[in-house]
Amino acid sequence: MSISIRSITKTFGAYKALDKVSLEVPEGSLTALLGPSGSGKTTLLRIVAGLEFADEGSGAIHFHGEDVTQIHAGQRGVGFVFQHYALFKHMTVADNIAFGLSVLPRKQRPPSAEIRSRVTELLSLVHLEGLEKRRPDQLSGGQRQRVALARALAIRPKVLLLDEPFGALDAKVRKDLRRWLRRFHDEIGLTTLFVTHDQEEALELADQVVVMANSKIEQVGDPQQVYDHPATPFVIRFLGNVNSVRDPRDPESPLYVRPHDMGILFAAEADPATDRVARVHHLFSAGPIARLSLRLEDGQFVDAEISRQQLDELALSVGDPVAVRFQGASRFE
Amino acid sequence: MSHRPVTTESLGVKLLLIGATVLVLVLFLLLPLCAVFAEALRKGADVFFASLRDPVAASAIKLTLLTAGIAVPLNALFGISAAWLVTKFRFPGRTFLVALIDLPFAVSPVVAGLVWMLIFGSKGWFPPGEMAEFFAPVAKVVQSIAHTPGLGWLGGLGDWLERPKIVFDLPGIIIATVFVTFPFVARELIPLMETQGTDEEEAAITLGAKGWKVFLRVTLPNIKWGLLYGVLLCNARAMGEFGAVSVVSGHIRGKTNTLPLHVEVLYNEYQYSAAFACASLLALLALVTLALKDLIERLGHAGSGGH
């Protein structure tokens, strides 16, 4: 089911957490809300879930064309996975997963045998067969997350919402689970919206990346688009390391260029029309990529990344002059 | 030089600290407790049991049980609602409310009793005569309903409404006890519910659970050990309360004397064995409370997976 967010504003006291935010989440997509803390991404997710309500008269949330703006979280049919999973500590894994079915009114509640078989089915879906009887504190972080996912899916939600799904995991588990979640999403095809502050995670996992900052959406696009064609200085800065270089010919608008896009040539090859001269200030060459810190003739420092092979060809050491060519630089008006 | 862990003291200091602790424990805690039981049993078990079977003592025990039986469940309810309110919601005046919950702990029990005299006493804001006038129409209705078969039990309420009495009677004793023991449950639950946050409740809500079910299936199981502990302390205080109850009870023997008040009366009349026999019941209550407290803590730890 598609999600359509139309001009949502949310204020907490004097603080505006969301400012007329609109967004389309296509059916079956995996969409990332990416931004630093305080950008409003979690608030937006909670408003989509119905855990928080937008300001009176500010806009609407539609699920597949149906207006759900006034519908409460419990009736909205969303699967929500909390950052710290919020598993019910005193219940077994099976009872956690069955919760959404067991609290249905008597008339709609499936018979207990059916609930049990649904729990078994969900456990095998998230690859946790045989852990029915465990309690949340007897599970690893990754297992807890998958229990939370199975619990959210038990109510057959229309959309799946995940708040920082990998935030509480260590680096190794994080990478594994990230790939697992991508395959899992492709398998079940449920429209999924997740919040993250990690650009690598968003770019690797999502079909659509929504970059947020200061209560607004900065850019929406697929990972390739937002990375290669950032719409604003904020986006280019947030999606990875970038040099912002003051251009003496146009001091008002700096050039943005990523370290790995910097062309490094012998000083003698410098083309005065496009290149600038710099000296090697610092050189870090452990590993396959060499990182250079360069000092331009006007005193600005910039970073560059080149291959070890190129470094050997250039035979650089600290203090040497080089020519710098800004390839693929972005400029914003 | 000997190498001992940096947090360990020398043998001399250790012995001194252990000795001082044991001395204080024996002198101030264990000795008085033994004295109570020794004094109670000094004239033999027969006298001991006779003092407890005495009709006046029996009525004091009954009144104490009744008071605790009403005040403790009320405070469990009030404590849960107060803790729920101040931990799961944010509203102006919240910190003031949290401070107000502690008021009964901060105020002297005598004052806690006197305020109710000031409000419901014969020279108070709502003296019994005025209350009788106020309740008269209601009393009439209740009395007439009480005549219908099956509703006879309303007669008692009707009688009370005709001649309402709060201080120097059971209602006053219960109100004073509720007031004094109010903070126990709330104070136990507030920090607990504060650390638990609202995540699990929100999860339950997104899964379709509604208010009451969220409370019964998610909130209550998470706070049950803290709640039991609070109820236990609340009960110990409700049964043992002296000051506030002493002010409002009026000391009507066999009628409005609770067990602690009865102990004082006996003692003042030089009936030491009887006084200590009744006092030993209160001391026993303390021991049972401590044993249960220990049990609750152990079960609570096991229940939360040994953290």
Q: If DSSP codes are grouped into helix, strand and coil, which group holds residue A293?
A: strand
Considering only CB atoms, A99 lies closest to which of B207, B210, B221, namely B207
Residue B203 to chain A, least CA–CA distance (Å): 6
Considering only CB atoms, A90 lies closest to which of B203, B210, B222, namely B222
3-state helix vs strand vs coil in chain A, percent to 5: 30, 30, 40
Tell me the C-alpha to C-alpha distance, in Å, between residue B41 and each of A242, B49, B58, B272, B279: 87, 9, 18, 11, 11
Neighbours of B307 (CB within 10 A): 6
Per-residue pLDDT tens over the stretch B101-116: 999 999 999 999 999 9
- In chain A, the N- to C-terminal Cα span, in Å, equals 38
Residues in A closer than 8 angstroms to B304, CB to CB, are 89, 137
Per-residue pLDDT tens over the stretch A175-231: 888 888 899 899 889 999 999 999 999 999 999 999 999 999 999 999 999 998 999
Q: Which residues pair with A301 in a beta bridge?
A: A295
Residue B306 reports pLDDT greater than 60: no
Most confident among A216-220, B162-166, B209-213, B285-289 (mean pLDDT): A216-220
Per-residue pLDDT tens over the stretch B14-43: 999 999 999 999 999 899 999 999 999 988
Residue B234 reports pLDDT greater than 90: yes
**What is the DSSP-derived secondary structure letter of residue A18?**
E
- Edge-first strand order for the sheet with A243-245 is A243-245, A255-257, A330-331
Closest CA to A97 of A137, A47, A134: A134
Q: Please, are residues B257 and B63 in contact by the beta-carbon 8 Å criterion?
A: yes
Closest residue on chain B to A100 (Cα):
B207
Neighbours of A211 (CB within 10 A): 26
Residue B211 to chain A, least CA–CA distance (Å): 11
d(CA A203, CA A187): 20
Residue/partner pairs of B34-40 with CB below 8 Å, 24 or more apart: B36/B276, B36/B279, B36/B280, B36/B283, B37/B280, B37/B283, B39/B272, B39/B273, B39/B276, B40/B273, B40/B276, B40/B277, B40/B279, B40/B280
Confidence of residue B1 (pLDDT cuts 50, 70, 90): low
Phi, psi (deg, nearest 5) at residue A258: -75, 150
Considering only CB atoms, A103 lies closest to which of B199, B208, B304, namely B208
pLDDT value of position A317:
86
Q: Which residues of chain A have pLDDT under 70?
A: 333
d(CA B184, CA B102): 9
- Edge-first strand order for the sheet with A216-221 is A78-81, A159-163, A192-196, A30-34, A208-213, A216-221
Neighbours of A105 (CB within 10 A): 8
pLDDT value of position B144:
84
Length of chain B: 307
Residue/partner pairs of A172-181 with CB below 8 Å, 24 or more apart: A173/A140, A173/A141, A173/A142, A174/A201, A176/A142, A177/A142, A177/A145, A178/A204, A178/A205, A181/A205
Q: Which residues pair with A294 in a beta bridge?
A: A280, A302
Contacting residues for A68 by C-beta, under 8 A, at least 6 apart: A50, A61, A62, A76
d(CA B175, CA B66): 13
Considering only CB atoms, B222 lies closest to which of A72, A75, A89, namely A89
For the whole model, what pTM was predicted?
0.80
> Cβ–Cβ of B200/A89 closer than 8 Å?
yes
Residues in A closer than 8 angstroms to B222, CB to CB, are 89-90
pLDDT value of position B89:
84
Q: Which residues pair with A62 in a beta bridge?
A: A4, A67
Average pLDDT, chain B: 89
Per-residue pLDDT tens over the stretch B84-100: 999 888 889 999 999 99
Residue B307 reports pLDDT greater than 50: no
* Chain B residues in contact with chain A using a Cβ-Cβ cutoff of 8 Å: 199-200, 202-210, 213, 217-218, 221-222, 303-305, 307
Q: If DSSP codes are grouped into helix, strand and coil, which group holds residue A166?
A: coil
Interface test with A, best of B88, B192, B207, B224 (most A CBs within 10 A): B207
CA A313 to chain centre: 38
